[in-house]
Amino acid sequence: MRTEVRDGVGWVIFSNPKRRNALTYTMWRQVPAAIADMAETSDVRVVALRGEGESSFISGADISEFATRRSTPEQVAEYDRVGTAANAAIVNCPLPTVAVIRTWCVGGGMATALGCDLRIAAEDTRFAVPAAQLGLGYRYSGIKALTDVVGPANAREIFFTARKYSAEEALSMGLINRILPVDGFDTAADEYLAQIAGNAPLTMRAAKMAIHAVGQDAGERDVASIEAAIQACFDSEDYKEGRAAFAEKRAPVFKGR
């Protein structure tokens, strides 16, 4: 794993290019710290996850490790614990998160992308969850994340057939939000992320909290914290800046306070 910050975007990069960025146990363990570092960096407005290079977003879990990392009940439990913690860190990141996907998004790559708020993909990307071809069990949290996004019927087909889906199919079922061209992909992705990074951080934070609460049981919703986050928007310098920029017909410059 490595990270970098550019123009308000905090990049979390999965780097295992020899295996098309397949996720290792060590990489899973590094995810929470990487996400936390980005969330705590003052000039980061949006967190983007991508794979190293152009060969893949994430081609799944590194199966070569399964014999030593996932062969006993105790190892399976530990591996799943680490994977669950990684996905939880992505889901609970207070900043907007975007999976920037190209070429392959498979298995653990799908789980990682589903933890993000938004998913954009190159038009030649292929998606798959091959669990049924490997005989492994899939965590409930992963099944729920997929079902919440694509619905039960599509989730069943994805798991039961274990087939590869095109970017167009992924878009039609709501798995991704936007298809970008292969040529000029990086530029198009940067433009998409810049649009998010230029918006008011406090507004996006409050909106993310509220949207997340919609999927929770009523008893679990922290409505008071959401209301406080909304009020913080109205009390902020950014609210004054947004109104001034609108009146002056210029782009606002938000500071997150």
Q: Which two tokens stand for residue 54?
A: 């152009």
Average pLDDT over the chain, rounded to whole? Answer: 93
Per-residue confidence (pLDDT) for residue 98, from 0 to 100: 98
Regarding whether 239 and 166 lie in a shared domain, the answer is no
In a domain? residue 253: no
70, pLDDT greater than 80: no
Ranges 64-78, 99-113, 203-217, 220-234: which has the least confidence? 64-78
Is the domain of 166 the same as that of 144? yes
Residues 17, 144: one domain?
yes
Domain presence at residue 127? yes
Residue 85 has pLDDT above 80, yes or no: yes
In this predicted structure, what is the pLDDT of residue 207? Answer: 96
pLDDT in the model for residue 121? 98
Q: What percent of the chain has pLDDT over 90?
A: 77
171 with 60, same domain?
yes
C-alpha angle 196-200-201 in degrees, rounded to nearest 5: 85
Same domain, 178 and 229: no
Is there a single domain that holds both residue 79 and residue 144?
Answer: yes
Quote the pLDDT of residue 176: 98
For 181, half-sphere exposure in the C-beta direction (CA atoms, 13 angstrom radius) is 5
Indicate whether 67 pLDDT > 80. no
Q: How many CB atoms lie within 10 A of CB 49?
A: 28
Which pLDDT band holds residue 217 (cuts at 50, 70, 90)?
A: confident
Q: What pLDDT was estimated at residue 65?
A: 81
The residue-averaged pLDDT of 48-75 equals: 86
Mean per-residue pLDDT for 220-248? 95
Provide mean pLDDT across the span 3-19: 94
Residues 32 and 75 in one domain: yes
Domain annotation covers residue 184: yes
Per-residue pLDDT averaged across 34-61, rounded?
93
Segments forming the whole domain that contains residue 211: 201-248
Of 156, 174, 197, the position where a domain reaches its end is: 197
Of 58, 116, 122, nearest in space to 92 by CA: 116
Indicate whether 149 and 48 sit together in one domain.
Answer: yes
65/155 same-domain check: yes
Q: Is residue 254 part of a domain?
A: no
Which residues are CB-contacts of 164 (< 8 A; sequence separation ≥ 6)? 126, 127, 128
- Is it the case that residue 91 has pLDDT exceeding 80? yes
Cα separation, 177 vs 93, whole angstroms = 19
Query: Which amino acid, one-letter code, is at 93?
Result: C
Cα–Cα distances in angstroms (integers) from residue 62 to residues 36, 156, 196, in the given order: 24, 24, 32
pLDDT at 77: 87
Q: What is the CATH number of the domain that holds 16?
A: 3.90.226.10
Cα separation, 34 vs 39, in Å, equals 9
125-174 per-position pLDDT tens digit? 999 999 999 888 888 888 999 999 999 999 999 999 999 999 999 999 99
The beta strands (E) that lie in 159-252 are given as 165-166, 178-180
In whole angstroms, what is the distance from residue 166 CA to residue 104 CA?
10
Q: Domain check: are 74 and 93 in the same one?
A: yes
pLDDT, position 8 = 95
* 100 part of a folded domain: yes
pLDDT of residue 73: 87
Whether 27 and 121 map to the same domain: the answer is: yes
Structure confidence at residue 27 as a pLDDT band (50, 70, 90):
very high
Number of separate domains in the chain:
2
The pLDDT of residue 228: 96
Higher model confidence: residue 154 or residue 61? 154
Model pLDDT, residue 233: 96
At which of 163, 179, 197 does a domain end? 197
Quote the pLDDT of residue 225. 94
